[in-house]
A and B are shown apart, each in its own frame.
Chain A
Amino acid sequence: MKQFNTTDIPVTPRVKKLIADLFAKLPEIEADRAVLLTESYKQTEDLPIIKRRALAFHHILTNIPITIRDMELIVGSATKAPRGCQVFPEYSYEWLESEFDTVETREADPFYISEQTKATLKKVYPYWKGKTTSELATAYMAPEAKLAIEHNIFTPGNYFYNGIGHVTVDYGKIIKIGWRGLMEEAAAELSSINIYDGGYARKKEFLEAVIICCDAAVIYTKRYAKLAKETADKCPDAARRAELIQISKNCERAPEYGAATFYEACQNFWFIQMLLQIESSGHSISPGRFDQYMYPYYKQDIESGILTREFAQEIVDCIWVKLNDLNKVRDAASAEGFAGYSLFQNLCAGGQTKEGLDATNDMSFICIQASMHTRLPAPSFSVRVWNGTPNIFMIKCAELTRTGIGLPAYYNDEVIIPSLMSRGITLEDARDYNIIGCVEPQAGHKTDGWHDAAFFNMCRPLELVFSNGVDKGVQVGLRTGDVESFRTFDQFLDAYKKQMSYCIQLLVNADNSIDVAHADRCPLPFQSSMVEDCIHRGKSMQEGGAIYNFTGPQGFGIANVTDSLYAIKTLVYDRKEVTIGEYKDALEHNFGKGYTEKATRKMVTEAIDAIAAQGRRVSPQMVEQMCRAYLENSMCTAEQKQKYDKLLQMIDSVPKYGNDLEEIDLFARESSYIYTRELEKYKNPRGGMYQAGLYPVSANVPLGEQTGATPDGRLANTPVADGVGPFSGKDRFGPTAAANSVSMLDHGIASNGTLYNQKFHPSALAGQSGLQAFADYIRAYFDRKGMHMQFNVVSRETLLDAQAHPENYKSLVVRVAGYSALFTTLSKSLQDDIINRTEQTFNM
């Protein structure tokens, strides 16, 4: 049996101070990168795009302001202000320009932007007109696909507006060989190309671009060495001066030539992680198996006596804090979908080695401790669990879960490894997987996974069945026939399948268009240089340079679709208690129930605009009347409402997903295949396949707002179900029953990840026996071939109080669908969703 050092280490005052400083102010938007990028682009218009990207990166890193924050041990900041963000006009910029005056006051993820910055950005933006990836993607897209996006059938907004991210580069290798080593590798490849090769020109340009990027990184890290030295010279405090001199040394040699010590390795790691996020605005750039590539340095330094476990912990804590120093401003709508300022930098511990042995080591425990110390949203901390995972590791993880920060997320090797292999990944690479972003498994530093490629709302095609493909008066879906003409459930189901596969085809067209636009306009030489097999193939990831290529759009609403189809089958076609026409009528009238405040505001505003457009005036009384009509749904008569109530009662009596009922759970399995199996048929432009995910991040709330009432009794504009879990409040038999239901889905086929959120009250994890039962609970769900599990452990009272007094809960972290977020930074509706999620109850 392996022995681990699991003794707790106390958190240092420095780490507490760094956290307090980081969260002291609203994050700020800075313009330096945009200005430097534009300067460079203007001078390189004649060059191939890959060169232009490299030269722009070089120009940015040579000139962007750098800063060392007070008391830092790990340095390197992308912005002057803590938690600030740069902007990336090469992807898109119009949304930010139009949100200049609202971005500071919006509900989800507000950012401060100075008048000076606004003025600077206004000067550079005109250059980008017509030159962005989003504009090119729009030009590539089929009109039908654009229409489907406008009608919220799916949204590829993430990659449409931003870089791709969603990658784990070869941290271990770069930490070890440095930028110089990488440069030499590219140079060697360059010297080996035959000038008569068909791919000579592109390969040469790419490899030269890589060399330029590595040079840029060396310049940048040496700037930090110099700044640290200068700061040390001016520092009156002897202890801090010594630290700064050490920092200067760390930055001087190791980034270029590779790390010799644990401390240097940590600094190298940080430069890689940060520089990737200056090159592009993609999120989910995930450190991956940190405990695996850092452990050799740790072990060597501990054994030689130059490192204490306590200092190692403090450095790792500092990295955890730094991960929260990176930030990204998104458009208002996306900010709601990804609420919580999250960059989804997913970091893994535990699991298996490439050889299939247990990989847990002392560094795995230091990672757990760092998350306990910092209690921050980043990193998204994931642990891999397999049959050989030591119990003590599970118990320590359970202790972290018990703190209520929503970490770690638990992943099941026994499902994920075969699932990845079914996609053509080798056994060794599959065993070496890590998690990207929210929940997406990937063979690290060999994959361009395009995870998170779009949110696909599985409820919307169901709406299209009822409307014969029409949405808001426009033919968006297929004409599958008048729903009232369907005589059997199979006819109904067939229509749903047809709408689904048509919408999926549109999704594929949209994603592929965006994919090509990125290859054409924003290939990333720096990132690509650290992903196999780009250097050897001589092309960027965006052009298909990685070994494994996927596109993974995520479907969500599986519980609503299951409960809806099952209710229709039962009530309309089996029991014949209601006709499909009556059902349709009830859905159109939102079951006679009032609309949400937000939906009312939107509908009334639209109505007023329409009236105003006709040149008529709208009196305040009229507005008030209209509002009341929507809020109370007074468009329906009492008689109608009574009829709809009866239908709702009938629906309520039909069994629901999440209660360990085999018949309906198998139905859920079949329903999810309608999405997962269909996607597998399609290919992306990088030569890879589509693979489905089943998770909504937090988009189930904003995208639910765009979804009408559904046949499971869910009202219009309210959130749809979270992840692969049961619909909120529908699971009534506790955590084992719900887990059994969820495990009945075929998780393995959703190789882009599934997400199962559970909420536990802290009392369930009380004492050693509570922790053990909790760990066993996870293992049993995994025995049943569940893929992922994560937990909110907070009391309802705590959450209500946090909602009422956010000032007292500034650092309260909750798990929101795939990542941790600061509760008080979430919008009210998302806060409500978390509060209302079924709280599992336990014996006292």
Chain B
Amino acid sequence: MEHDILSTTGRIFDIQRYSIHDGPGIRTIVFLKGCALRCRWCCNPESQHFEVENMFFGGKNETMGYDVTVGEVLHSVQKDMFFYRRSGGGLTLSGGEAMLQPDFAIDLLKACHAEGINTCIETTAIAKWDVIDRFLENLDFVYMDIKHMNNEKHREFTGQPNTKIIEHAIKIAASGARLTMRTPVIPGFNDTVEEIRDIARFVHLLPGSPRLHLLPYHRLGEDKYKGLNRDYFYAGVPPMDMKRMQPLLRAAQLEGVECQIGG
């Protein structure tokens, strides 16, 4: 007998409506808690640990992370049905890494499809391939990060090697998924023309030659590190200047990839 997908539980830390930069149209983003990477610039540090934690933010203590059923999340997501219908929007799973909670996440995707809501994921694609494969059949759009082509540097700045990520990028692209690749452009990590060109070359060579979004570094997450009693590696580093982004955009475009700044 098929299980009741609406009662599957998972752990999220936020639901954000009217998101217009994370997939087509007006979308609702569900942020799942827990991540395999520890990116030094991460703007959502409260997303990293699976454990529920306290964050002092905006003058008060807030509990980050709560357990919900698919049905409860669906109820929230459905509220903006009119907006999805007009704009071609829908649900976007983000995190953290949504693929670390596959049962919950996939049931949520299925529940949305059953209601006629399209689905998208923002992922690091670091999960096992058979897990990713299960996700793909329930996704209309995939937004996948590619942060650096150099394995060592990737490991140093994110805590994980890039080997599986690169392998999965190729496989996802080959699966025929509607794929968009995204690169956060981080000062001192990947903000040189050479590094971006390497990424763009790789993206261009992927099956179907997906689009590439360059996302300029911002520091809006800085206060959250304080609130979590954690050190912020990028403390005091100013956001990426649009002027510095332009040569990177051009370098990527020269590789033949369709590229834009921002989501």
Contacts and interface: CB of A to CB of B under 8 A. Distances in A.
Interface of A: 660, 733-737, 740, 764, 766-767, 769-770, 772-773, 776-777, 779-781, 783-784, 840, 842-844
B140 interface: no
A769 B25 CA distance: 8
B18 A736 contact: yes
Contact of B79 (A736, A767, A777, A783): A736
B82 A780 contact: yes
Interface residues of B, number: 22
Contact of A773 (B29, B80, B87): B87
A737 B81 CA distance: 11
B37 to A, nearest CB: 20
A736 B80 contact: yes
Contacts of A784: 82
B262 A777 contact: no
B22 A777 contact: no
B26 interface: yes
Contacts of B83: 736, 776-777, 780
Contact of B86 (A734, A740, A779, A840): A779
A764 B20 contact: yes
A454 to B, nearest CB: 34
Contacts of B16: 734, 843
Nearest to A770: B20
B21 interface: yes
Contacts of A764: 20
A767 B260 CA distance: 11
Interface in B80-111: 80, 82-83, 85-87, 89
B187 to A, nearest CB: 16
A843 B87 contact: no
Given A737-B79, A844-B220, A780 B21 contact: no
Interface in B1-52: 16-22, 25-26, 29
Nearest to A776: B87
Given A773-B25, A784-B82, 4 more contacts: A767-B262, A773-B89, A777-B87, A780-B86
Contacts of A660: 79
Contacts of B26: 736, 773, 776-777, 780
A691 B86 CA distance: 32
Nearest to B217: A844
Contact of B20 (A769, A780, A781): A769
B17 A733 contact: yes
Contacts of A844: 21, 218, 220, 262
B18 A735 contact: yes
Contacts of B86: 776-777, 779-780, 783
Q: Which of B22, B79, B86 has the most CB of A within 10 A?
A: B86
Nearest to B29: A843
**Closest 8 A/B residue pairs (Cβ):** A776-B87, A780-B82, A776-B86, A773-B20, A780-B83, A780-B86, A779-B86, A734-B18
A776 B17 CA distance: 14
Interface string B240-263: 000000000000000000000011
Contacts of A780: 26, 80, 82-83, 85-87
A660 B80 CA distance: 10
Contacts of B87: 772-773, 776-777, 780
Chain A binding site: helix, strand, loop or mixed by DSSP?
A: helix
A777 B27 CA distance: 11
B57 to A, nearest CB: 14
Contacts of A842: 18-21
A213 B25 CA distance: 56
Interface of B: 16-22, 25-26, 29, 79-80, 82-83, 85-87, 89, 218, 220, 262-263
22 contacts: A660-B79, A733-B17, A734-B18, A735-B18, A736-B17, A736-B18, A736-B79, A736-B80, A736-B83, A770-B20, A773-B25, A776-B26, A776-B87, A776-B89, A780-B80, A780-B85, A783-B86, A843-B19, A843-B20, A843-B22, A844-B21, A844-B262
A777 B83 CA distance: 6
Contacts of A769: 20
A773 B24 CA distance: 9
B21 A843 contact: yes
B243 to A, nearest CB: 17
A374 B233 CA distance: 48
Contacts of A733: 17
Nearest to B260: A767
A843 to B, nearest CB: 5
A766 B262 contact: yes
Contact of A740 (B20, B79, B85, B218): B79
Contacts of B263: 843
Contacts of B89: 773, 776
A733 B29 CA distance: 13
A783 B82 CA distance: 7
B116 to A, nearest CB: 15
B14 to A, nearest CB: 11
Contacts of B218: 844
A370 B29 CA distance: 39
Contacts of A767: 262
Nearest to A783: B82
Contacts of B18: 734-736, 777, 840, 842
Contacts of A781: 82
A781 B81 CA distance: 11
B123 to A, nearest CB: 17
Nearest to A844: B218
Nearest to B215: A844
Nearest to B22: A843
A737 B22 contact: no
A733 B16 CA distance: 8
A733 B80 CA distance: 12
B253 to A, nearest CB: 17
Nearest to B19: A843
A734 B16 CA distance: 8
Contacts of A735: 18
Nearest to B82: A780
A788 B262 CA distance: 31
Contacts of A766: 262
A769 B20 CA distance: 8
Q: Which of B29, B83, B218, B262 has the most CB of A within 10 A?
A: B83
B178 to A, nearest CB: 16
Nearest to B79: A660
A733 B87 CA distance: 19
Nearest to A662: B79
Contacts of A777: 18, 26, 83, 86-87
B25 A737 contact: no
B85 A783 contact: yes
B162 to A, nearest CB: 25
Contacts of B80: 736, 740, 780
A844 to B, nearest CB: 5
Q: Which of A764, A776, A779, A842: most chain B Cβ within 10 A?
A: A776
Given A777-B83, A777-B87, A734 B17 contact: yes
A722 B85 CA distance: 29
A773 B80 CA distance: 13
A769 B211 CA distance: 15
A660 B75 CA distance: 12
Nearest to A779: B86
A764 B17 CA distance: 13
A207 B89 CA distance: 60
A735 B82 CA distance: 13
A777 B17 CA distance: 12
A842 B19 CA distance: 7
Contacts of B29: 843
A56 to B, nearest CB: 54
A777 B89 CA distance: 11
A735 B19 CA distance: 10
